[in-house]
Structure 1
Amino acid sequence: MCTNVAIIGGSMTKFGQRDAWIRELLAEAGEKCLRDAGVPPSTIDHVYISNMASGEFEGRTGVMNALAHDLGLLPAYSQRIDQTSASGGAGMYGAWQSIASGASEMTLLVGGEKMTHTDTATSTDVIASITHPDEYKHGATLPSFAGLTARTYLDRFDAARESLAKVAVKNHANGVDNPKAQFRKRIDVETVLESPIIADPLRLYDFCPVSDGSAALLFCPESVAKEYTDEYAVVSGISGATDTHVVHERADPTTMRAVEAAGSNAFRMADLTPDDIDVAELHDMFTILELLQMEALDFAETGTAWKHIEDGRTQRGGELPINTSGGLKSKGHPLGASGIAQGYEIYEQLLGKAGARQVTAETGLTCNLGGFGNCATAAIMEAK
């Protein structure tokens, strides 16, 4: 058994519309990650691929075997992990487990998705398959859940509609300084509030884009990490949890029980509290989700996260910078890659490699969601 699991390498490709197909995207991130860590392919025992829908989007399956071949990782054990839009976070948990259990001494995790080549109707249908069939047949989509929940939150807590717009504005501003982000342009509150309505009260700029891209992380025991580098991060807490698949069965749609459970377990494992976190990457597929996760993770009391947005606490220069990468909103959301890209941003921040996005951080957290909080994985990382 290994009690201290380290991350010694990471990479992220450019997110956005890419000419490369899924096999090429995965290989690009995997190769860059190995090079970043200075680790030869022959040392890899396990390789995990986080991917939701290569079969549906591209008609391509067996991506884990293909990557093992393409990177020269044979005879490493390979496995694909699908947990819908939380596939990246689930991959981090799986890679951590492979090291912590003692089954592997070097595990490569790569996540990716190729989505932009399909028409809007096709990609919408694939993503909508996350929802329960009974909800889907009545037209209840992820955007509609977001709109209904946002309206409930704004009305119940007398929150300012502008606070949701300011989440998008903040994350776009952070994305400007991320060379791998899909959208590298600043926006203002007026732009958000005047954009087309998608699911009232949410508008176009409250939603993340459809994206291609990949990201990777390399895991090993801390004892092995010291053989390769003096700078690495340790996963001190990690946990996953599941909420109801049928969203309307939840007692309160503004309460993300899977995030609460995953977060509290991760904090307990790390022997840390929310006050100990210096930087966080949250799953802002919709702007309302950033607020709901802040409250579920105890970064803010129930009904008050919007006030923290208003007072600048989550800005890059604030007390708790959130989504310094640009978040899903600006960086992009290639489903299987997103959770790993969150981990990569925290890894870069902890090692002081985030460039213009750099904040002062020794401890960071990621939270990756499946569907509208149907499942979640939270991870806490510390610099060593």
Structure 2
Amino acid sequence: MRDAYLIGAGQSAYGAFPEESYRSLFRTAFEAAAESVPDGFETDDVDEAFVGTLGVGGRQLGLSGPAVTEHVGLDGVPCTRVENACAASGFALRSAVQAVRSGMADVALAGGFEVMSDASSDVTKYWLGVSGETEWERLSGTTFAGVYAQMAAAHMAAHGTTREQLSRVAVKNHENAASNPHAQLDFPCSLEDAQSAPVVADPLTLYHCCPTSDGAAVALVASEDVVATYAADPIRIAGVGAASDDVGLFQRETYAGIPASRRAGEAAYEAAGIGPDDLDFAEVHDCFAIAELLAYEDLGFCERGEAGALIESGRTDRDGDLPVNTSGGLKAKGHPIGATGAGQAVEAFKQLTGAAGDRQLDDPVRGLTHNVGGSGGAAVVHVFERESEVGA
């Protein structure tokens, strides 16, 4: 199996853009990704494409992948649409890595898009709900926020987690988003703001919830045989892990964790030959504040039940030992469902190539991205590393 490398990554801004279409957002992301390749990139170089989207609102549900790849000039390139709810483009990236490692492609595109702002709140609530179990969750009236509120309540009951600790996730990620020109909620949030905001689904307040977003992201993956054409100091995709689970929260072994995340993380660490202590940063799936705390435990950043103490310690702050969600995360950067996983790879690429601007970390070598579908029915984890610095 050949090594796979992340040679470029880019995204559109995330937010509400009534003047944009899903095609134009994807073009913006594709052009940004192509421009980010250190030694140049041509559209004709792409051998295979994988595009993630949920299809909020019902637009272009059939052939939505070719609809955007054709728009950016990839006529004739095989394209597969990937749908795994909020993990759609994370799994698209996994598919691109598999295509490159297998020899099927030398260069593969992984991307995603979503347009969510042009639907009413009731319609958007419906489309978010389709990522849960249909008969016993969505059709019985449970919302996406309601499912994560149950997870938060379970974690609080089991481990003493507090609303203040949930709120610290929001404060941290808003602070990071304020330094990200692509972020949707690019303004600070105080601890008091987060705790006193209107309740969406108890115990979650408005500031514990991600926004609905429009946006697109693209990552470009190359094989070890051609990577020198694109970058002298490439970013190796050192490990990939994925897992699935029961779609319905009520069907799983626990409400206070996401088993698919744990299994995906363990597989990615094993493939990369590292452990969580070897990471310099992570982008984790924080659609709600509780989701980030669950990720700390599921990915081995701390022991089970210690996530609240970890966020309070400051270790996951941008100046901490393990910065988490330097982009602002889904919570503040935004969460255009189909684009989120690829968007996490954009932040990893920027951090590892020194292109993260005001939020740039001090010489990171390894980073992780973690993307969850629904409330944990699927999860995918990628480990990225600056190959030239590994073992240096």
Tell me if both proteins adopt one fold, taking TM over 0.5 as the criterion. Answer: yes
| Structure 1 match to 2:5 | 6
Measure, in 1, the Cα distance between the counterparts of 2:152 and 2:44. Answer: 49
How far apart are residue 63 of structure 1 and its match?
2.5
Judge conservation of contact 1:222–1:234 (CA < 8 Å) in 2.
Answer: no
In 2, the alpha carbon distance for the partners of 1:69 and 1:203 equals 41
> Retained in 1: the 8 A contact 2:6–2:219?
yes
Given the alignment, which residue of 373, 377, 382 partners 2:376? 373
How big is each residue's C-alpha offset from its partner over 1:222-245, in whole Å with a ceiling of 9 and x where there is no partner?
A: 331112221321110001101111
CA offset at residue 137 of structure 1?
A: 2.1
* TM-superposed deviation, 1:334: 0.2
Kindly provide the CA deviation profile for residues 44-102 of structure 1, in whole angstroms up to 9, marking residues without a partner as x.
11111111115x34346423222332222232111111111110111110110110110
* Cα gap change, 1:159 to 1:60, in 2 (>3 Å): closer
AA of the residue aligned to 2:30: G
Give, in angstroms, the shift of residue 251 of structure 1.
Answer: 2.2
Map 1:105-120 → 2, pairs under 5 A: 105-120=106-121
Amino acid in structure 2 at the alignment position of 1:244: D
State the secondary structure of the residue aligned to 2:344: helix
Partner of 2:269: 267
Letter in 1 for 2:378: C
Task: Name the stretch that deviates more: 68-77 or 127-136.
Answer: 68-77
What residue is the counterpart of 1:81 in the other structure?
82
Amino acid corresponding to residue 36 of structure 1 in structure 2? S
1:284–1:329: 8 Å Cα contact kept in structure 2?
yes
Secondary structure of 1:24's partner?
helix
Counterparts in 2 of 1:218 and 1:59: CA distance versus 1, 3 Å: closer
Aligned-partner Cα distance in 1 for 2:258–2:61: 33
Question: 2:311 aligned with 1:312, yes or no?
Answer: no
**Paired residue secondary structure (1:69):** helix
2:181 corresponds in structure 1 to 179
- Separation (CA, whole Å) in 2 of partners of 1:243 and 1:153: 19
Counterpart selection for 1:364 from 364, 367, 374: 367
- What secondary structure does 2:241 align onto? strand
Matched AA of 1:66: A
Instruction: Specify which of 209, 212, 218 is matched with residue 211 of structure 2.
Output: 209
1:131 counterpart = 2:132: yes
> C-alpha distance in 2, partners of 1:157/1:228?
48
Where structure 1 has 5 or more consecutive residues not aligned to the other structure, the ranges are: none
Count of residues paired in the alignment: 382
TM-superposed CA distance for 1:382, in Å, is 0.3
Normalised by the length of structure 1, the TM-score is 0.97
Q: Aligned partners of 1:263, 1:20: CA distance in 2, in Å?
A: 36
* Contact 1:30/1:108 (<8 A) preserved: no
Q: 1:245 is matched by which residue type in structure 2?
A: V
Q: Superposition pairs for residues 1-384 of structure 1, below 5 Å?
A: 1-2=1-2, 4-18=3-17, 19-37=19-37, 38-53=40-55, 56-59=57-60, 61-133=62-134, 134-360=136-362, 361-384=364-387
Q: Contact 2:106–2:225 (CA<8 Å) still a contact in 1?
A: no
SS of the residue corresponding to residue 225 of structure 2 reads helix
Counterpart-to-counterpart distance in 2, 1:255 and 1:243: 12
Q: What is the one-letter code of the residue matched to 1:112? A: F
Q: Which secondary structure does the structure 1 equivalent of 2:6 belong to? A: strand
Check conservation: 2:108, 2:221, Cα contact below 8 A: yes
Greater shift, 227-236 or 168-177, is seen at 227-236
Whole-Å separation in 2 of the counterparts to 1:12 and 1:247: 32
Amino acid at match of 2:4: V
Q: Contact 2:100 / 2:106 at 8 angstroms: preserved in 1? A: yes
CA distance in 1, matches of 2:173, 2:184: 12
Q: Aligned in 2, Cα 1:164/1:73: closer, same or farther, shift over 3 Å? A: same
Secondary structure class of the residue paired with 2:237: strand
How many angstroms apart in 2 are the aligned matches of 1:229 and 1:298? Answer: 32
Q: How big is the shift at 1:17? A: 0.5
Contact 1:50 1:336 in 2 (8 A): yes
Structure 1 position 34, deviation (Å) = 1.8
Distance 1:40 1:178 in 2: 27
Q: Is the 8 A contact 1:166 1:189 kept in 2?
A: yes
Deviations 1:106-155 (A, max 9, x none): 11122110110111001110111111122222222221111122122122
Give the share of equivalent positions with the same residue, in percent. Answer: 34
Q: Deviations over 1:155-184 (max 9, x none)?
A: 221223201000000000000000000011
Residues 214 and 319 of structure 1, relative CA distance in 2, 3 Å threshold: same
* Contact 1:8 1:231 (C-alpha < 8 Å) held by counterparts: no
CA distance in 1, matches of 2:111, 2:157: 41
Q: What RMSD, in angstroms, separates the aligned Cα atoms of the two structures?
A: 1.2
